[in-house]
């Protein structure tokens, strides 16, 4: 049969039509699935395809002092970013504009890394572009595909180094932090608080970034801005009102002897509000804005005097004579002594304890003293015996109860714990079970030995002492956030007696030269033995003595060389209580540091000065 | 019907050129309109040529086309969306056309001449050999360019024509079996099943012993060398096949086309985004949107309704051509028209199928839609010839 027979042809034509129809229907079904059933999914994808979101940085919250003076603010700045469809395209565009932006090879490498991390976000090239650069780029926008210029708030610290350690500073998020995703809303270029309140309250200050949508073509070039989709407004960070008094803080910074190292802290004992906190040497947080110059960074982080270290909270010192009040308070609260108690052995310039002789700072001796007088003259011999009477176990336990093994609780990051042994096991471990004697109690009683406290912790103790009921909230820096309250558990009259003794210190005792006219100040000096050089000087004081409204304390490293710790602190107190019109001190500055030292100082310091929060500080760009 | 398709095609092409992105394709719709006018002229010319004359010049046309293909292999240049291949013939730096497109038509004519002269459908593989050779020569030449898509079209034409001249379907399956074997060889399991199926088919159909053995051995050999062939494939060919299987393997590079195409199609929805309004197209996300992926543009802007209408037109066109082939007055014309059906069908199936991921991506144009002169002229010529056949059939009836 021939194939060209109408019947055969008709049959095959039928088959062919069937096949054509079948294929048509199959294709139609396929399109139906994609276009009708899965349409919404593809529509979303198509939007995502063409729309790129650019974060609108939320301005960080303002940090003010207690009176509203601005300590940290955000001011307008411009950042320059680049969208790129591929790494090659990024490279070629960069090659084009690198001279204009003054980008070095390191910047280019960083840009490539950033691109690999987040290819769908603009790569940030400059964060702090000056206006003339921005306008120069705007002119060439057509030639630079994918260019993104956006307003990006910059941080500014009007008071610079004055409040650096309290306010802290911000820096760009690191690549490592981006990779871990531990930070909420992390994106390249995000400013993260690195130190001080900026770090402590980072979450509150940071706010929430908004989103801006830009239409891009297949090559990633920005085609149109605005109107393509609803923008998401940024949520600005919340402001923080600190307890600082910036005028007082400035006075502190100016009063602190230039070139010396140390810290000053001023607080309201009743509320725990910190009025001033200064650490010297300081640095200018404005240096960190827009990335630190690597050389500056190296200089800062390797400097011998560690400007980045907050010496009020991140450095430990032997508490020395100010610690005697702790011992006195512990003995009083246990009922072992009262303010008029005398010790069996009067001070003859030293105390023989078994085979060792423990000297008093006054080699001629103080004679027979009551507790109040012993505080006034800071008699070591009296406190050696008080320490023995209290006993090591009580000393360990009660000091722990008052929190001398815990941070002060101040709301600053990186505060370190004071060191104080918890039990005799510490000595067993350190010196071997037979390597030590109960003579350590003598050292501990006068604030030497295995004891190292921060200024913040000692201030917290003196705040308790200054309050009529012996209770005080932990120091804090942000308004309305008091921490927990600790108590000395002493009756009011004993507290008043201790304060009276401390007033005597300033009136007639070791700090007699630091009197301020018309002001009744109570305080305690101290000299922390320093095996590395001159001794460190302490002075912690409160005023007015009958109803203290302020506690101020200072630690000055190597103060043995003629600095004036007590007069400085008293000037600060006078300035706070009497304003700028405070009368001068009754005497010239003079070293008022008793040599109330321990026989065998244990080198504890500086164990913390070497510890710097290096990891938390971003790598220099 | 062809005119309607051409109009929609031109409009879509116009739209495809309208992007927010500066491209070189904004004005090509004008050129295409020019080609279309020329195409109409060619169709009119083809309509005037008697099938007898056509049959007479067929060998010359065929061998001329083959010669051109050989010439292309030697001096051809790449262009446009297939820049890596040598499929263009240029004279003095001006590209004058893609000989492969002409060869498709020439092959159809040659097949028609060869098979149409037979009274009886080929009964054995030996009798199929001439037809295979006619297709095989351009197939190999085009495959060498390399242009896999066009090469596949030749196979589509071959099988369509063989079916039309009455070769039993099982024989076609056997003929195709080595190729299928090649595809099945990706998995040992599927290939094993296929070999069993082929064996059973051979036992049932009982062709000549030698032929049966040859087919069986061909299957085995193909299955064995598949891996080696795969290694020899150009990486871009490998990637295309791989991303056909799973486009998300490499969404930025090889899977990009199909993903973007599907996104464009899917986001079109039922009614589409409106003429000229396709965002994917406008921002040039759709790859080769004026040629290979023009259907994606149509689907994005016109939605499912537009797709259905255009597919309906194509089905109608093909159905009409089948009817013309059936009613043709002589075997040659009939085979020619059905060859055109095979040609257009393969093109539509492959092109539309690939935009939605049903077919691997090959750069073959959508008839009457895609930008490109050579294929448009060929299509017009083919349609012109078909109309002539239809006219002759009608006029042969009318005297009665």
- Per DSSP, the residues of B134-179 read HHHHHHHHHHTTT-HHHHHHHHHHHHHHHHHTT--HHHHHHHHHHH
Most confident region among A50-59, A283-292, B76-85 by mean pLDDT? A283-292
- Identify the weakest region by mean pLDDT among B138-142, B318-322, B357-361: B357-361
Whether the per-residue pLDDT at A294 is higher than 80: the answer is no
Contact A13 B322 (CB under 8 A): yes
To the nearest whole Å, the CA of B231 is away from the closest chain A CA by 29
Question: Could you say which residues from 92 to 131 on chain B have a Cβ atom under 8 Å away from some Cβ of chain A?
Answer: 116, 118-121
- pLDDT at position A459 over 90: yes
Please report the residues numbered 306 through 325 in chain B whose beta carbons come closer than 8 angstroms to any beta carbon of chain A: 307-308, 311-312, 314-315, 318-319, 322-323, 325
Cβ–Cβ gap A17/B285 under 8 Å: no
* Rounded CA separation B377/B101 (Å): 9
Which of chain B's residues have a Cβ under 8 Å away from the Cβ of A42? Answer: 262-263, 265-267
Work out the average pLDDT over A320-335. 89
Percent of chain A with pLDDT over 70: 85
Taking only Cα atoms into account, the Rg of chain A, rounded to an integer number of angstroms, comes to 34
Q: What is the pLDDT of residue A599?
A: 35
Q: What is the mean pLDDT of residues B355-362?
A: 76
Q: Could you tell me which residue, B182 or A69, shows the higher pLDDT?
A: A69
> CB B260 to CB A218 under 8 A?
yes
Indicate the SS3 state at residue A467.
Answer: coil
d(CA A135, CA B298) in angstroms, rounded, equals 42
Partners of residue B248 in chain A, C-beta under 8 Å: none
Is B363 or A330 the better-scoring residue by pLDDT? A330
Nearest-CA distance A119 → chain B (Å): 11
Would the CB atoms of A43 and B299 count as touching at under 8 Å? no
Residue A225 has pLDDT above 50, yes or no: yes
What is the mean predicted confidence (pLDDT) over A570-589? 68
Residue A219 to residue B269, Cβ atoms within 8 A: no
- Residue B159: predicted pLDDT: 85
**Minimal Cβ distance to B269: which of A10, A43, A223:** A43
pLDDT at A99: 79
Query: Does any CB of chain A come closer than 8 Å to the CB of residue B154?
Result: no
Of the listed ranges A379-383, B2-6, B62-66, the least confidently predicted one is: B2-6
Q: Above 0.85 for ipTM, yes or no?
A: no
**Chain A contacts of B323, Cβ < 8 Å?**
13
Taking 90 as the threshold, does the pLDDT of residue A552 lie above it? yes
Residues in chain B with CB shorter than 8 Å from the CB of A9 are: 325-326, 334
For residue B249, what pLDDT is reported? 52
In this structure, what are the phi and psi dihedrals at residue B26, rounded to the nearest 5 degrees?
-65, -30
Residues A527 and A538: their CA atoms lie apart, in Å, by 6
The contacts of residue A395 (CB under 8 Å, 6+ apart) are A327, A330, A387, A441, A444, A445
Percent of chain A with pLDDT over 90: 13
Cross-chain Cβ contact A17/B319 below 8 Å: yes
Surface of B (257-286) touching A: CB under 8 A: 260, 262-270, 279-280, 283-285
Tell which residue, A112, A169, A160, A616, has the closest CA to residue A414. A616
pLDDT tens digits for A249-281?
A: 999 998 888 888 899 999 999 999 999 999 988
> What size, in residues, is chain A?
621
Question: How far apart (Å, rounded) are the C-alpha atoms in residues A103 and A95?
Answer: 10
Q: What is the pLDDT of residue A553?
A: 92
Token duo for residue A37: 């059933």
For residue A179, the distance in angstroms to the closest alpha carbon of chain B comes to 22
Q: Are A35 and B307 a contacting pair at CB < 8 A?
A: yes
The pLDDT, as a whole number, for residue B13 is: 53
- CA-to-CA dists, residue A513 to A504, A519, A578, B59, angstroms: 12, 14, 20, 125
Average pLDDT over residues A301-323: 85
Pairing of strands A350-353, A356-359: antiparallel
Testing the interface with B: which of A8, A11, A16, A89 to mutate, by most B Cβ within 10 A?
A: A16
Residue B18 has pLDDT above 50, yes or no: no
Q: Which of A101-110, B69-78, B83-92, B338-347 has the lowest mean pLDDT?
A: B83-92
Instruction: List pLDDT tens digits, range A126-137.
Output: 777 777 888 888
Q: Report the range out of A87-101, A348-362, B131-145, B337-351 with the highest average pLDDT.
A: B337-351
Q: What is the pLDDT of residues A426-457, one digit of tens each?
A: 888 888 887 787 788 888 888 888 888 999 99
> B157 to chain A, minimum CA–CA distance in Å?
13
Q: What is the pLDDT of residue A276?
A: 94
CA distance A176 to A158: 30
User: Over 70: is that where the pLDDT of B2 sits?
Assistant: no
The partner residues of A95 in beta bridges, in order of sequence, read: none
Cβ contacts below 8 Å, chain A against chain B, sum to 141
pLDDT value of residue A620: 37
Tokens coding A6: 């109408």
Start-to-end Cα distance in chain B: 28
What is the C-alpha separation between A189 and A173, in angstroms, rounded?
A: 6
Q: Which residue has the tokens 């321990």?
A: A598
How large a percentage of chain B has pLDDT more than 90? 0
Span of A85-94, A465-474, A483-492 with lowest mean pLDDT = A85-94
* A376-417 confidence digits (pLDDT tens): 888 888 999 999 888 888 888 888 888 898 888 899 988 888
Find, among A132, A174, A267, the residue nearest to A541 by Cα: A267
Contacts of A1 in chain B (CB under 8 A): 120
pLDDT at B236 over 70: no
- Chain A residues with CB-CB distance to B under 8 A? 1-4, 6, 8-10, 12-13, 15-17, 20-21, 23-24, 26-28, 30-32, 34-36, 38-39, 41-43, 45-47, 49-50, 215-219, 221, 223-224
The confidence band for A602, taking pLDDT boundaries of 50, 70 and 90, is very low
By CB atoms closer than 10 A (0-12, 13-18, 19+), residue A329 is buried
Q: Which of the pair, A155 or B369, is modelled with greater confidence?
A: A155
Measured between CA atoms, the residue of chain B closest to residue A30 is: B356
Q: What is the pLDDT of residue B109?
A: 85
Evaluate if residue A83 carries a pLDDT over 60: yes
| B326 Cα to chain A: minimum distance (Å) | 6
Nearest to A83 by CA among A93, A73, A74: A93
Q: Give CA–CA dist A165/A410, Å, rounded.
A: 13
- A551: confidence class by pLDDT, cuts 50, 70, 90: very high
From chain A, pick out residues whose CB is under 8 angstroms from the CB of B279.
Answer: 46, 50
Give CA–CA dist B297/B291, Å, rounded: 10
Say yes or no to pLDDT of A310 above 80.
yes
**Cβ-based contacts of B307 with chain A (< 8 Å):** 28, 31, 35
Q: Is the pLDDT of residue A588 over 50?
A: no
């Amino acid at each position: 049969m021939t194939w060209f027979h109408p019947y055969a042809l008709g049959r095959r034509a039928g088959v062919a039509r069937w096949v054509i129809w079948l294929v048509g229907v199959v294709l139609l079904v396929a399109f139906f699935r994609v276009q009708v059933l899965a349409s919404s999914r593809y529509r979303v994808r198509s939007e995502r395809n063409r729309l790129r979101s650019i974060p609108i940085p939320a301005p960080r919250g303002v940090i003010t002092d207690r009176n509203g003076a601005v300590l940290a603010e955000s001011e307008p700045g411009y950042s320059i970013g680049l969208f790129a469809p591929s790494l090659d395209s990024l490279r070629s565009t960069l090659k084009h504009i690198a001279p204009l932006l003054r980008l070095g090879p390191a910047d280019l490498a960083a840009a490539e890394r950033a691109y690999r991390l987040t290819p769908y976000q603009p790569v940030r090239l400059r964060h702090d572009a000056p206006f003339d650069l921005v306008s120069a780029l705007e002119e060439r926008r057509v030639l630079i595909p994918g260019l993104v210029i956006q307003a990006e708030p910059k941080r500014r610290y009007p008071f610079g180094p004055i409040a650096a350690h309290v306010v802290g500073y911000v820096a760009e998020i690191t690549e490592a932090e981006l990779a871990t995703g531990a930070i909420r809303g992390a994106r390249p270029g995000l400013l993260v608080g690195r130190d001080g309140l900026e770090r402590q309250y980072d979450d509150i200050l940071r706010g929430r970034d908004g989103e801006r949508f830009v239409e891009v073509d297949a090559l990633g070039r920005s085609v149109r801005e605005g109107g393509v989709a609803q923008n998401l407004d940024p949520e600005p960070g919340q402001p923080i009102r600190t307890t600082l008094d910036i005028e007082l803080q400035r006075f502190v910074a100016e009063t602190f002897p230039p070139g010396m190292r140390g810290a000053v802290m001023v607080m309201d004992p009743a509320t725990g509000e910190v009025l001033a906190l200064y650490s010297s040497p300081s640095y200018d947080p404005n240096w960190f804005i827009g990335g630190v110059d690597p050389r500056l960074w190296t200089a800062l982080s390797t400097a011998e005097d560690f400007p980045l270290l907050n010496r009020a909270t991140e450095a430990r010192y032997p508490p020395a004579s100010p610690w005697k009040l702790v011992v006195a308070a512990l003995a009083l609260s246990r009922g072992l002594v009262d303010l008029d108690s005398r010790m069996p052995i009067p001070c003859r310039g030293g105390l023989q304890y078994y085979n060792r002789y423990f000297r008093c700072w006054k080699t001629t001796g103080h004679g027979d003293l009551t507790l109040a007088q012993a505080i006034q003259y800071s008699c070591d011999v009296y406190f050696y015996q008080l320490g023995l009477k209290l006993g090591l176990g009580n000393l360990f336990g009660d000091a722990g109860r008052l929190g001398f093994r815990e941070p002060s609780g101040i709301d600053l990051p990186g505060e370190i714990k004071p060191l104080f042994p918890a039990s005799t096991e510490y000595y067993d471990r350190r010196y071997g079970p037979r390597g030590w004697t109960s003579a350590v109690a003598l050292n501990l009683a006068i604030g030497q030995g295995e004891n190292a406290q921060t200024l913040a912790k000692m201030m917290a103790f003196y705040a308790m002492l200054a309050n009529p009921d012996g209770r005080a909230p932990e120091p804090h820096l942000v308004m309305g956030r008091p921490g927990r309250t600790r108590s000395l558990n002493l009756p009011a009259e004993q507290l008043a007696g201790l304060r009276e003794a401390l007033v005597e210190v300033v009136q007639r005792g070791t700090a007699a030269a630091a009197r301020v006219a018309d002001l009744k100040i109570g305080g305690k000096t101290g000299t922390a033995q320093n095996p590395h050089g001159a001794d460190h000087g302490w002075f912690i004081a409160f005023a007015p003595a009958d109803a203290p409204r302020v506690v101020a304390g200072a630690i000055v490293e190597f103060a043995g060389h003629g600095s004036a710790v007590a007069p400085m602190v008293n000037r600060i107190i006078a300035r706070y209580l009497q304003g700028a019109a405070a009368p001068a001190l009754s005497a010239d500055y003079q070293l008022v540091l008793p040599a109330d030292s321990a026989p065998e100082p244990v080198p504890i310091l500086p164990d913390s000065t070497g510890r710097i929060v290096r990891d938390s500080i971003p790598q220099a760009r | 019907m062809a005119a309607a398709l051409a109009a929609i095609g031109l409009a879509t092409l116009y739209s495809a050129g309208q992007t927010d992105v500066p491209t070189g394709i904004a004005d090509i719709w004008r050129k295409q309109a020019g080609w279309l006018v020329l195409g109409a002229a060619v169709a009119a010319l083809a309509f005037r040529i008697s099938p007898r004359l056509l049959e007479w010049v067929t060998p010359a046309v065929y061998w001329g086309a083959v010669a051109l293909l050989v010439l292309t292999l030697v001096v051809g240049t790449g262009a446009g969306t297939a820049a890596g291949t040598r499929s263009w013939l240029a004279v003095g730096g001006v590209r004058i056309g893609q000989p492969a497109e002409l060869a498709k038509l020439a092959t159809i004519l040659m097949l028609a001449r060869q098979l149409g002269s037979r009274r009886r459908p080929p009964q054995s593989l030996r009798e199929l050999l001439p037809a295979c050779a006619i297709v095989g020569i351009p197939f190999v030449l085009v495959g060498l360019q390399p242009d896999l898509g066009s090469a596949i079209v030749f196979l589509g034409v071959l099988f369509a024509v063989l079916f039309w001249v009455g070769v039993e379907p099982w024989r076609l399956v056997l003929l195709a079996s080595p190729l299928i074997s090649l595809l099945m060889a990706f998995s040992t399991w599927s290939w094993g099943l296929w070999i069993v199926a082929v064996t059973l088919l051979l036992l049932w159909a009982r062709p000549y012993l030698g032929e049966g053995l040859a087919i069986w051995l061909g299957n085995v050999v193909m299955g064995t060398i598949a891996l080696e062939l795969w290694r020899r494939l150009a990486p871009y060919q490998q990637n295309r096949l791989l991303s056909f299987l799973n486009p998300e393997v490499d969404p930025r590079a090889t899977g990009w086309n199909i993903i973007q195409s599907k996104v464009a199609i899917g986001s079109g929805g039922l009614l589409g985004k409106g003429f000229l309004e396709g965002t994917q197209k406008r921002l040039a996300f759709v790859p080769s949107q004026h040629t290979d992926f023009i259907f994606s543009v149509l689907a994005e802007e016109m939605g499912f309704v537009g797709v259905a209408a255009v597919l309906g037109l194509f089905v109608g066109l093909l159905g009409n051509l089948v009817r013309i082939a059936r009613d043709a007055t002589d075997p040659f014309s009939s085979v020619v028209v059905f060859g055109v059906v095979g040609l257009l069908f393969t093109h539509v199936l492959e092109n539309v199928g690939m935009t939605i991921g049903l077919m691997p991506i090959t750069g073959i144009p959508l008839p009457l839609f895609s930008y490109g002169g050579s294929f448009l002229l060929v299509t017009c010529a083919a349609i012109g010839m078909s109309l002539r056949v239809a006219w002759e059939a009608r006029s042969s009836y009318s005297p009665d």
